[in-house]
Amino acid sequence: MQLNFRKGLKLNIEGAVPGDAKLTDVPVRLCAVAPSDYPGFVPKPAVKEGDTVGCGSPLLYDKIYPEVNLVSPLAGTVRAIVRGERRRILRVEVEAGAGADAPSFAMPKDRKSALDFLSQAGLLALMRQRPYDIVPNPADAVRDVFVSALDYAPLAAYSATTGSGVFTKADFEAGVAVLRLVTDGKVYVATSAQWPHGALKGAEMLEVNGRYPASNVSVQIEAVAPVNKGDIVWTLDGMTLARIGRTAQSGHFCADTVVALAGPEVVAPSLLRTVVGADIRPLLEGRLKNTGRHLRIISGNVLTGTAVDPRTDDAFIRFPYRQITVIDEGDDVAEFMGWASLAPSKMSESRSFPGHFLSRLFRPDARLHGGRRAMIMSGQYDEVLPMDIMTEYLVKAILSHNIEDMEKLGIYEIAPEDFAAAEYVDTSKLPLQQIVRDGLDYLRKELE
């Protein structure tokens, strides 16, 4: 099936990874798992500081569903369990070294064994469910599974989306076989025209054409089989699908990942082979421009990523572990007229700025360019979100905690990332992704 979307956003940012880029292996000495990357997961420690662990050993388990684990990407020693306010677990750090034996997992044969495998191997935590965009509940009946093996986000690299050079077609097909055991419905795999593996056995293939956020699973679900109240749909990306297949075939957790290091402040954008949650500092060493300016290091893309600071101890690749973007911070820039400057070097979707009409690559910074204000009902959100929902009214329903209107306006179909493009073009400068996240958490709290 082919899906074509006209609405969306395309940002022409300098620093994309070349299509012929080769993988560079980067040794990993330190990694971390951050529970905040897994909404709905209530963490409890499965280890203590100083414990030795193997690759795939549980580090954290879910307080509500104890069979669901977050596992170690490395064999070595638990260096620290870092806590924040009210002893909330911020991350568990593991230092590479002589660790315990890696746990082994059997190839699933039925639904129960498939759920046990996904939960215990830390793979279920890498997936999300609709509604609520949270780590799936293994006790739920799953209507369908949707896999998005493409990424149209700014500076996303296709090879990093699917783990090209690390994973094979056999890994993808083994992953599909496992997921077919957990649902009585279908396993949909969305790809772009670049997909090299052809049709995957057991999957319903979707070819998606368009601009960001057409690569988001929510957009694909709405176009193929919308989520209604009471439906449970599981979602994941292409790399997770392949990781499930590799783990099932080998019997050991596969922590390998491909990360695209991109952005205008990178000397030579490239593809790096590392592990999930790796320390970001060795990945950046010798690869950034020496401009003397303050830089924003983003784990992820410029629209949905998490800012990390290599000068602190909190400098690890964050979920979904496939991109690092480096741009100018902008806090040390002296610009005539500030946000109102009409310089052609300014990237903007507004027709008020000359840069909107120029076919060039831009070097944006992290400044907000304006202040937050009351919502302006301009229809801006609908221009960049290819979904049949009334976005502005849905945001207002969330802000007012109107559950009935939230349900009517389609909150069961969405995730915070779906509003990233709308947040970028928003004249009101509202934190739309955080608003949606808060709305989903509030709805789940009230209804479950």
Per-residue pLDDT of the chain (448 residues; tens, 9 = 90+): 999 999 999 999 999 999 889 999 999 999 999 999 999 999 999 999 999 999 999 999 999 999 999 999 999 999 999 999 999 999 999 999 988 889 999 999 999 999 999 999 999 999 999 999 999 999 999 999 999 999 999 999 998 999 988 999 999 999 999 999 999 999 999 999 889 999 999 999 999 999 999 999 999 999 999 999 899 999 999 999 999 999 999 999 999 999 999 999 999 999 999 999 999 999 999 999 998 889 999 999 999 999 999 988 889 999 999 999 999 988 777 666 666 666 666 776 766 666 666 778 888 888 887 777 788 778 889 999 999 999 999 999 999 999 999 999 999 999 999 999 999 999 888 999 999 999 999 999 998 7
Alpha-carbon gap, residue 6 to 386, rounded angstroms: 7
| Cβ–Cβ < 8 Å for 342, 335 | no
pLDDT of residue 330: 81
> Which region, left, alpha or beta, applies to residue 333 given φ > 0 means left and ψ of -120 to 50 means alpha?
beta
- C-alpha closest to that of 442 among 389, 390, 396, 398: 398
Domain ranges of the chain: 2-25+104-250, 380-447
pLDDT of residue 78: 97
**Separate counts of helices (H) and strands (E) for the chain:** 11, 19
pLDDT of residue 371: 74
Alpha-carbon gap, residue 136 to 125, rounded angstroms: 7
Alpha-carbon gap, residue 156 to 11, rounded angstroms: 11
Alpha-carbon gap, residue 189 to 161, rounded angstroms: 13
| Cβ–Cβ < 8 Å for 339, 366 | no
Alpha-carbon gap, residue 113 to 110, rounded angstroms: 5
Alpha-carbon gap, residue 118 to 122, rounded angstroms: 6
pLDDT of residue 355: 63
Structure tokens at 287: 């690869």
